[in-house]
Structure 1
Amino acid sequence: MTVSPSRVDAQPTASALGFGLAGVIGFSLTLPFTRYAVPAFGPELVGPGRSLPAALFAVALLAVARRPLLPPPRMLPSVVVVTVGAVVGFPLLIAHALRSVSASHAAVVIALLPAGTAIMAVLRARERPPMVFWLWCAAGTALVAGYLGFAADSRFGIGDVELLAAVLLCALSYAEGGVLSRRVPGWVITCWSLLAGVPAVLVIVVVTGVPSRAELTWGAVAAFGYLALGSSLLAFCCWYRALADGGIAKVGQVQLLQPILTMIFAAVLLGERLDPAMIPVGLAVGVTVFMAQRARPAER
């Protein structure tokens, strides 16, 4: 499956940017709500397990729209890539990481996601990036590594390894989903990926179960409900639609807002203290990612 140069180079429309912003706002709430729900439900259920109720809605959407429940065989490998990254890997790793790092700290690491998405888009489309592209990406990586090494709120640990692995898997799934969404509507890709992940998620949930000392509250239940429908379904429907309509690299710039929005939501919803260094680091990383995407290579 190749990417049309005209679609890649086209200027994003207001509609594409609007869908992209809606998706980013939805994603920005994921970390605070995940941290809120993990003590009650455990990282496995809050992470990949939240896709199970979302899959039920996906079946209903596909049935109403008279779409097949499974992708055609030629698209199945790509859908599996999206599933492994966005449905299983990213939520599970993030939920585990948030047991040892704050949502604000995680937001700074996840600021690497737009650069990772752009790199995966380059590799997926077999483009030749100029040296300046890689220099800006290296600058962003150095900023995040510096923050992790010298930030006052934590040391580099297993939580940061999990976050970096989550970024890698999510970037791959974003690029693959964006390419798929050029042929099939983004909401269909989202539904297919949720359904494809059901067997693996069921195994994880059955094996791990719910924490024996879980303290269920209405707030925790509401947080889990948002993660199931907002983060796992609606946000991805908007995001893949935006990537398909406006281009993976260009619309990915909208995601530069995500770390700052996450920090704000974490402060409002969780009462987390905003580390004074987090905002300038997040903004600086955003600048490097923006410049890296502007240096997006030409097609062969």
Structure 2
Amino acid sequence: MKSSAAVALTGTSSAWRVHLKLLGMAALWGASWPAGRVLAQALPPMTAASWRFGMALVMLAAWLHWRGGLGRLGALSARQWLGLAVAGTFGVFGYALFFMLGLAHVPAGRAALVVTTNPVVTTLLAAWWFGERLNRRIAAGMAIATAGALVVIAHGRPWTLLAGGIGLGELLLLGCVATWVGYTLIGKRLLTGIDPLTTTAVTAGIGLVLLLSSALLFEGPQALAAPMHAMASVWVAMAFLAAGATVLAYAWYFEGVSALGAGAASAYITLVPIFGVLFAALLLGERIDTQMALGGCLAVGGLGVMNLARRPSA
């Protein structure tokens, strides 16, 4: 039999692996912004999103089959299928479209900081609609994070927002916020009883159908075939978004939720904009100006306060 010390050491090692995977998840999601920027500048937005989720769906379907989940699709209720359809429309089709359109106008680092408002808006609406917990510390964190995001969106001059001082790219990125919040809240209401892997795979498939249809209708078959003639860097970015930012990052996130709980795992998402800015600077040579640094520190600090405030007291 193993000694108690050996068991404790094994448990500690396993916990460290989980934390490292969650750190990797945050890095992968952060790196998705510069990768998306590469695609947005090389391909039409719906075409780029279609190829990304097409590649991801193949991998997700294989993963779901390996986990024995394909057979469970027939057991889903009509309400659950409705929830998956709406979630796929918002969380995949809508988010991917605004993601690509926004990155065509806004540098990747700035874009990653703009969407730090995601958890703020989600928390506010969840407290209003579902009566979720909202205390003073969470509210303070939300205020700090929102102030930071406004500094980034308005290029260091938040007072200009009242005079229309916000660009098209920032408006499109706020569409990312709206669609992701809708996806999250719809999931809470309609996707009860569906495991995360099934939800991710099915919503990716539904979103892909909508993306492909839109690409054919608005961009045409010739545009949809454009990746076949793209540079190697475009294919690397697309493969990374499909395999790294979609499949592997979700796998590590699910493992973290299972091992540590949803609250502890989701706290790592606070690091995503930091990695987004760093990778944009390292890979694309984007400049980190004073306004971005200040707004980013405020946004990430506010998210950290929110996550700490959600943890139950000892």
Post-superposition offset of 1:82? 3.6
Matched-pair contact (CA < 8 Å) for 2:151–2:291: no
- Coordinate RMSD, CA, aligned: 3.3
Aligned counterpart, 2:12: none
Match of 1:75, as an amino acid?
Q
Q: Deviations over 1:102-149 (max 9, x none)?
A: 111112112223434544665675324124423431332122213322
Worse-matched range after superposition: 179-188 or 29-38: 179-188
Q: Deviations over 1:220-279 (max 9, x none)?
A: 111112122222322233334434654444432211211111111111211112223323
Matched-pair contact (CA < 8 Å) for 1:243–1:251: yes
1:97 pairs with 2:102: yes
Matched-pair contact (CA < 8 Å) for 1:185–1:241: no
Q: 2:167 aligns with which of 154, 157, 161?
A: 157
Post-superposition offset of 1:204? 1.6
Aligned counterpart, 2:11: none
Worse-matched range after superposition: 29-38 or 284-293: 284-293
Post-superposition offset of 1:180? 8.9
**C-alpha distance in 2, partners of 1:230/1:56?**
14
Match of 1:223, as an amino acid?
A
Post-superposition offset of 1:81? 4.3
1:41 pairs with 2:43: yes
Q: Deviations over 1:22-49 (max 9, x none)?
A: 3222211111011112232211122354
1:196 pairs with 2:231: no
Worse-matched range after superposition: 261-270 or 175-184: 175-184
Matched-pair contact (CA < 8 Å) for 1:114–1:252: no
TM-score, normalised relative to structure 1? 0.80
Aligned counterpart, 1:269: 283
Residue aligned with 2:70, SS: coil
Aligned counterpart, 2:92: 87
Match of 2:62, as an amino acid?
A
Residue aligned with 2:290, SS: coil
Worse-matched range after superposition: 276-285 or 63-72: 63-72
Aligned counterpart, 2:63: 61
Aligned counterpart, 1:3: none
Residue aligned with 1:24, SS: helix
Identity %: 22
Q: 1:173 aligns with which of 175, 183, 186?
A: 183
Match of 1:79, as an amino acid?
L
**C-alpha distance in 1, partners of 2:190/2:45?**
29
Post-superposition offset of 1:96? 0.3
Q: Deviations over 1:61-110 (max 9, x none)?
A: 23333322637124324433442333212221011011111111112112
Higher Cα Rg, which structure: 2
Matched-pair contact (CA < 8 Å) for 1:30–1:227: yes
Matched-pair contact (CA < 8 Å) for 1:48–1:201: yes
Match of 2:148, as an amino acid?
L
Match of 1:43, as an amino acid?
P
- Structure 1: any 5+ residue segments left out of the alignment? 1-12
**C-alpha distance in 1, partners of 2:150/2:291?**
13
Structure with bigger helix share is 2
Write out the 4+ residue segments of structure 1 that deviate beyond 6 Å after TM superposition: 178-182, 211-215
Q: Give the count of matched residue pairs.
A: 285
**C-alpha distance in 2, partners of 1:79/1:237?**
19
TM-score, normalised relative to structure 2? 0.77
Aligned residue runs from structure 1 range 225-264, under 5 A? 225-243=239-257, 246-264=260-278
Match of 1:238, as an amino acid?
W
Post-superposition offset of 1:216? 1.5
